Structure 1
Amino acid sequence: MEFTDTLVMGTPLWMWGIFMAIVVILLALDLGLFHRRPARSGSRKASSSAPFTITIGLAFGAWVWVYAGPTSGKEYLTGFLVEKTLSMDNIFVMSLIFTYFGIPRLYQHRVLFYGILGVIVLRGIVIGIGAWLVASFHWVLYIFALLLIFTGIKMLLPGDDEPDIKDNPALKLMRRFLRITPKLREQRFFVREPDTKTGAIVTWVTPLFVAMILIEIVDVIFALDSIPAIFAITTDTFVVYTSNIFAILGLRALYFALAAVIDRFVYLKPALAMILVFIGSKIFVADLAGWEKFPSTVSLSVTVALIAGGILYSLWRTQRDPADTQRDDKVQDAKTGDL
């Protein structure tokens, strides 16, 4: 057996190598080619790259389908779509964080880029722990399933309040132990400035750095939903990790593409709630029916139908009169000017 055929978590090393090479190339292009310098066109470039990153993620799923088989391909696509849909909540919270700190779109790319780098590492750690738990204790899957059902039902109930950034415990902790500049220092995370009490030159962190840390924490919280969801779809570690990472790689571009219109997708959240309930329930259904595994074709079909239904119904119910849209844009511009 050649070295490249060595199995790593059940998958040949050469497949992991192809995946990592694509990720490195995408990150290098993002940082080195498209955003070498901050520019006002940066957010437009990012939003226009959203279809590109989604296409790469889907193309990788097609490759998995060919080389690992239809079942793995369907499981990858299901996991990719579920993670993308869960990302809509991430986008909403990211928008709140940027608004709270008054971070202009000019500098948001820097926060999201380095934030996503951290997310890739954190997701790898969490997925590794999840894979070990599932392999060592199969009953953990049932806990994941119950967690998904509970989360889905909770999302369907009224009273889901908007997150309060000001009273966030992590923010309070950072304010207590870190020197934070009152205003941005362009796109820098750290600056050397005089201490307000002693006058000595010390290191300060900027609101840009604080925003990045909060985004990392938000992702860890959201991983409590997404990781059980993907393991309820498949226990193939390669499929779990690659579908998650490709969905995350496109999160920055998706943010710039959808941040301004995220409020239009009001019925996507109930659709996502039903997806979580479905994914959690199918583990118990498979056991009751005596199946070794719930059919991947059914999982993919139901997921696609619910996501498409949520998006289309949202767009239909939130059709706006052009005059109203222009009026709202002016109000938003006024708010932005006050930051």
Structure 2
Amino acid sequence: MALGPELLFADFLGKPAWAWLSFLGIIAALLSFDLGILHRKAREIPAGESLLLSACYIVVALAFGAWVWSQMGQEAGVAYFTGFFIEKTLALDNIFVISLIFATLAIPRHLQHRVLFYGILGVIVLRAIMIGLGTALVSQFAWVLYIFGAFLIVTGIKMLLVAENPSSVVDNPLMRFVRRHLRVTKDLRGSVFFVRRPVARSRRTVLYATPLFLALVMIEFADIVFAVDSVPAIFAITTDPYIVYTSNIFAILGLRALYFALAASVHRFGYLKYALSIVLVFIGAKIFWSQVFGKVDPLISLGVTLALLAGGVAVSMWKTSREAPAPADEAARTDPEPIRLTRGEPS
């Protein structure tokens, strides 16, 4: 009987096991309520419901951050909120890419939530692996933080000077490999990711993927691409794996819920990219500044980050208030005709 409490208070990556289990319990409860109750049946998510659901996720994330602040101290709380807001902003570009993926594979709006939901499960696992590897590297080789800092500075400058091509995430070597080597149905088969089809003149059946599965694979790949920026950014703020992981997952959860409200208007946040690029340069430079002049007050970092991001949002809304929606946004609003993929199914 005494073994249970001992395990709950055992240290795991710098925090007691009960802290990790509590976080995972919150995530499991949110996802179960989302899919098991609110969206048990495939349907289109109205913008109003999307905003309300996202607001609920944000409230839970902020409440969790307040708990971190009260239980683990100001520095941990500030690091959590800084990481949360940076990850939230970085993931805005991910929304545009997701809308391109759905348009390319002709995924109707009533099935998009299902793909995003199972995509979240993949993100929870993939981010845990990436953050675990990052923690191991930083703990063994402290100089890795300088590489992260230099990477963030270069990434920020690149965002300022080089135009991005989101379609490169959609048309990538991984997807071309999957299309060549996986049997894919010509069109959707309801809300399933795989179906079995009979082989001609045989009693055997063969497993086929549906375009819904391809969309899931592409969304997971897009998250890995964006994590290359976001994971070093949060490690530049704190090396505490608990803060890194929880802030990342909460930010992604809320933004996926917000997708249905933002997909048609994400073009209005175009100028936010420039504010975010400055934030990345600031966070990267802070690593080098700390070694030469001393550690920067975490509250200053949070204040500068929020001021820059808020300014980027304000300028974006002002500059784009009279602009017409981009073609990609129009495509995200409609259900395009199904397109042929690769190795087609038998007719």
Counterpart in 1 of 2:157? 153
Could you tell me how far 1:46 is from its partner in structure 2? 3.5
User: Is 1:243 paired with 2:276?
Assistant: no
Q: Distance in 2 between matches of 1:331 and 1:8?
A: 47
The 3-state SS of whatever aligns with 1:28 is helix
Provide closer, same or farther for how the CA distance between residues 9 and 318 of structure 1 changes in structure 2, counting only shifts above 3 A: same
Deviation, 1:60, is: 0.5
Question: Which residue number in structure 2 is paired with residue 64 of structure 1?
Answer: 68
Shift of 1:157: 0.7
Tell whether the 8 Å contact from 1:44 to 1:256 is kept in structure 2 after alignment: no
How far off its partner does 1:12 sit?
Answer: 2.0
| Distance in 1, Cα, partners of 2:242 & 2:93 | 25
Structure 1: which amino acid aligns with 2:309? Answer: I
Matches of 1:172 and 1:143 in 2, distance apart? 32
TM-fit CA distance, 1:39: 2.2
Specify the alignment match of 2:274 in structure 1: 270
Aligned-partner SS, 1:230: helix
Answering whether residue 11 of structure 2 is matched by residue 7 of structure 1, we say: yes
1:101 aligns to 2:131 (yes or no) = no
Q: Contact conserved, 2:156 with 2:281, CA < 8 A, in 1?
A: yes
Do residues 85 (structure 1) and 71 (structure 2) align? no
Q: CA deviation at 1:249?
A: 1.5
Name the count of aligned residue pairs. Answer: 334
Q: Which of 289, 302, 317 in structure 1 is aligned with 2:304?
A: 302
Stretches of structure 2 lacking an aligned partner (at least 5 in a row): 339-347
- For residue 257 of structure 1, what is the aligned residue in structure 2? 261
Give per-residue Cα distances to partners, 1:258-312, cap 9 Å, x unaligned: 11100000111111111111100001111110x2x32110110011001100111
Q: Which amino acid aligns with 1:319?
A: S
Could you tell me which residue of structure 2 aligns to residue 214 of structure 1? 218
Aligned to 1:317: 319
Q: Give the Cα–Cα distance (whole angstroms) in 2 for the partners of residues 64 and 267 of structure 1.
A: 32
Kindly indicate whether the alpha-carbon contact (under 8 Å) linking 1:43 and 1:106 is maintained by their aligned counterparts in 2: no
Answering whether residue 145 of structure 2 is matched by residue 124 of structure 1, we say no
> What do residues 3-29 of structure 1 show as CA deviations (whole Å, max 9, x unaligned)?
233221111222222211111111111
**TM-score, structure 1 as length reference:** 0.92
Higher deviation after alignment, 243-252 or 301-310 = 243-252
> Partner of 1:19 in structure 2?
23
Deviations 1:172-219 (A, max 9, x none): 101111001111112110011245898953110000000101111111
* Greater mean deviation of Cα atoms: 69-78 or 162-171: 162-171
For 1:250, what is the secondary structure of its paired residue? helix
192-201 or 269-278, which moves further after superposition?
Answer: 192-201
Partner SS, residue 204 of structure 1: strand
Contact in 2 for aligned 1:148/1:228 (Cα 8 Å): yes
DSSP-derived class of the 2:43 partner: coil
Q: Secondary structure at the match of 2:263?
A: helix
Q: Which sections of structure 1, spanning at least 5 residues, go unmatched?
A: none
> Relative to 1, partners in 2 of residues 1:165 and 1:299: Cα closer, same or farther, differing over 3 Å?
closer
Q: 1:138 to 1:334 in 2, by over 3 A?
A: closer
SS of residue in 1 equivalent to 2:265: helix
Which residue of the other structure, out of 137, 149, 162, is the alignment partner of 2:141?
A: 137
- Map of 2:230 onto structure 1: 226
Determine if contact 1:79/1:230 at 8 Å carries over to the other structure.
yes
Residue identity matched to 1:296: P
Matched residues in 1 for 2:131 and 2:328: separation?
A: 41
The alignment partner of 1:192 has SS state of strand
SS at match of 1:82: helix
Structure 2 CA distance for aligned equivalents of residues 255 and 18 of structure 1: 27
C-alpha distance in 1, partners of 2:96/2:333? Answer: 20
1:151–1:276 Cα contact (<8 Å) kept = yes
CA distance in 2, matches of 1:68, 1:330: 42
Which range is displaced more, 58-67 or 157-166? 157-166
In structure 1, how many angstroms separate the alpha carbons of the residues matched to 2:150 and 2:189?
A: 46
Runs of 4+ in 1 over 4 A off after TM superposition: 41-44, 195-200, 327-339
Separation (CA, whole Å) in 2 of partners of 1:147 and 1:334: 36
Superposition TM-score, scaled by structure 2 size: 0.90
Structure 1 position 251, deviation (Å): 2.5
Q: Does structure 1 retain, via aligned residues, the 8 Å contact 2:152–2:284?
A: yes
Instruction: Give the alignment's Cα RMSD to 1 decimal.
Output: 2.5
Over 3 Å counting, the alpha-carbon distance change for 1:298 and 1:174 in structure 2 is: same
